[in-house]
Amino acid sequence: NAGVMQNPRHLVRRRGQEARLRCSPMKGHSHVYWYRQLPEEGLKFMVYLQKENIIDESGMPKERFSAEFPKEGPSILRIQQVVRGDSAAYFCASSPPGTGMNTEAFFGQGTRLTVV
Amino acid sequence: AQSVTQLDSQVPVFEEAPVELRCNYSSSVSVYLFWYVQYPNQGLQLLLKYLSGSTLVKGINGFEAEFNKSQTSFHLRKPSVHISDTAEYFCAVKEGQAGTALIFGKGTTLSVSS
């Protein structure tokens, strides 16, 4: 069972370009979470999605950022018109459906975005 | 609203010494608690978790943590650290219901030297 797969691992974009970060959850997992880690800081929650639904986007910047988790295919975090302040490591995590013992989230290796 | 406070941003220790990394949380409902470790330029790896039952939880690499409900704490401990334990450690909390995400503390950098 492959782990959470994120690609690309490293992404360089010029200011004003678009960045697309992909996350394939573990097999059987229907919950996906995106986090951003800025240098010298912890992980900040961005958005929580289930298949075709955004459950909680309270951590998403109001502009330029969007996320989706379609019925088929990976979850995508999209950043339009990137600025230098978007440079960070973006981590995806997935968990199986339900609560109780199945609440563990598994993390991917992250995508390190550099805006130049 | 949930929050997690890791009281120490950096903890330097010598090899084979014991270590405790502190974590306090706030939540009005029942919670699940986790400790993750992050090595440089890597993702997060789960060290241990508390879901229910015994308040003393044992994890990988010789780490353990104790859930203290009255003090809303979940401190991480290891009796004897190795150089290879040098990493960033994150405490996280998740409310015990569907539809919530993990909330992380700011992390504690553990530096083990010889």
Q: Please indicate if any CB of chain A lies within 8 Å of the CB of B49.
A: yes
What is the structure's pLDDT at B40? 84
Q: Which of A41, A103, A104 sits opposite B106 (nearest CB)?
A: A41
Amino acid identity of B34? F
Closest CA to A48 of A63, A67, A64: A67
Q: Please indicate if any CB of chain B lies within 8 Å of the CB of A110.
A: yes
What is the structure's pLDDT at A66? 97
φ/ψ of B60, rounded to 5, equals -80, 165
**Along the 114 residues of chain B, how does pLDDT read in single tens digits?**
678 999 999 999 999 999 999 999 987 777 889 999 999 878 889 999 998 888 999 999 999 999 998 999 999 999 999 999 999 999 998 876 655 778 899 999 999 999
| Contact (Cβ atoms closer than 8 angstroms) between residue A19 and residue A7 | no
Q: Which chain A residues are Cβ-neighbours of B45 within 8 angstroms? A: 107
What is the structure's pLDDT at A103? 64
| Contact (Cβ atoms closer than 8 angstroms) between residue A57 and residue A65 | no
Mean pLDDT along residues A77-104: 85
Mean pLDDT along residues A74-80: 98
Closest CA to B50 of B71, B36, B61, B34: B34
Confidence of residue A100 (pLDDT cuts 50, 70, 90): very low
Nearest CA in chain A to B48: A104
Inter-chain contact A109–B103, Cβ cutoff 8 Å? Answer: no
Q: Please indicate if any CB of chain B lies within 8 Å of the CB of A56.
A: yes
